[in-house]
Amino acid sequence: MSPSSTTTADVLIIGAGLSGLTAARELTRHGLRVVVVEKARTVGGRLATQPMGPALLDHGAQFFTVRGDDFAATVEEAVDAGVVHEWCRGFGEPDGYARYAGSAGMHGFAAWLASDLTVLTGVQIEEIRKARTGWTARAGANVYEAPTILLTAPVPQSLAMLDKGSVRIDSEIADQLSSVEYFATIALLMTLESSPAVPEPGGVQLAESEAFTFVADNRRKGISPNHAVTLHANHDYSLRRFDHPVEEVCRELEELAAPWIGDATVLASDVKHWRHAGPVKALADRVLVDAGAGQRLAFAGDAFGGPKVEGAFNSGLAAARTLREI
């Protein structure tokens, strides 16, 4: 059995996706000791990039846009650092808004955000409990203690940790959280011998009624040295086939993807599953905070105040600013 350890912080953030990393950066800038824990082996959440041989393929978020000043400032820093670049100005008819991509994949953007933070990966928090002066979170024999916890994992996962520790939260907040629903997405990844039949600029957004909702040529997006495509199956298909055998789903999706592959030979293929790919409908508030009995418990993520990449960023930033004020 591994020896136990206790890690303390001013703020413990559970989830190293964009919301968690953004909140950690903001809180750290203001002198707080922040520890971020993440159950996956890498940071980023849906800012995810998969190597397949020499190719690189984004399989979560494919790009992001910028609307607000706060996100614009962070993206400008990332552009200057060579971490992200402008991919295009729209798919089909340009609309004037830049679509940004990670220069080495979307994961590279997340890794850059995490570079100066204390982030512990491969940490599966099993339960959260109230303590005399705050909170304890347990992962196996390891304990994390903080007066404030920010949960940025998908809401059902966050509620499961609290339920395991018999934590009761404010009833109004509990009602809002229990109303959050997510859609699922299955991503098909393929490396090819030659260029696929994806039109310029190397990305296509499609209606939910189509087999795929997005098709991306990772080489023309500027992240892969080799030909590689990512196709996101529509939400209905993804939910129906989510737990089916991987080989069966991969074979079926390859057949559906044939028009986008054209005459190219498929070298390798894989599928990735996102159980909580995004909120069906985001909550109105960017952050929810239960500060009962002086024990601060906050919730943030892309299900709060607006979905997509910038929504997740705004939620994390709002959480940090709110927690600094209470």
pLDDT at 57: 98
Query: What pTM value is reported for the model?
Result: 0.96
Structure tokens at 196: 């696929």
Residue carrying the six token digits 């919301």: 19
Question: What angle do the packed helices 308-325 and 69-80 form, to 10 degrees?
Answer: 110
CA 282 to chain CA mean position, Å: 15
Q: Return the CATH number of the domain spanning residue range 5-39+122-180+283-325.
A: 3.50.50.60
Largest CA distance in the chain: 65
| Residue range(s) of every CATH 3.90.660.10 domain in the chain | 49-112+182-279
HSE-CB of 145 using CA atoms within 13 angstroms: 8
Which spans in 30-141 are helix H?
A: 69-80, 106-114
Amino acid identity, position 217: D
Q: Return the CATH number of the domain spanning residue range 49-112+182-279.
A: 3.90.660.10
CA 84 → CA 21, 75, 140, distances in Å?
17, 8, 37
| Residue range(s) of every CATH 3.50.50.60 domain in the chain | 5-39+122-180+283-325
pLDDT at 37: 98
Those residues whose C-beta lies under 8 Å from the C-beta of residue 93, and which sit 6 or more positions away, are: none
CA 248 → CA 59, 155, 251, 311, distances in Å?
19, 30, 5, 34
The DSSP code sequence of 233-298 is EPHHHHHHHTTS-HHHHHHHHHHHTHHHHTTPPEEEEEEEEEEEEEESS-BSSS-EEE-GGG-EEE
For residue range 195-249, list pLDDT tens digits in order: 999 999 999 999 999 999 999 999 999 999 999 999 999 999 999 999 999 999 9
Question: What angle do the packed helices 18-29 and 106-114 form, to 10 degrees?
Answer: 30
In this structure, of 63-77, 191-205, 238-252, 281-295, the range with the lowest mean pLDDT score is: 281-295
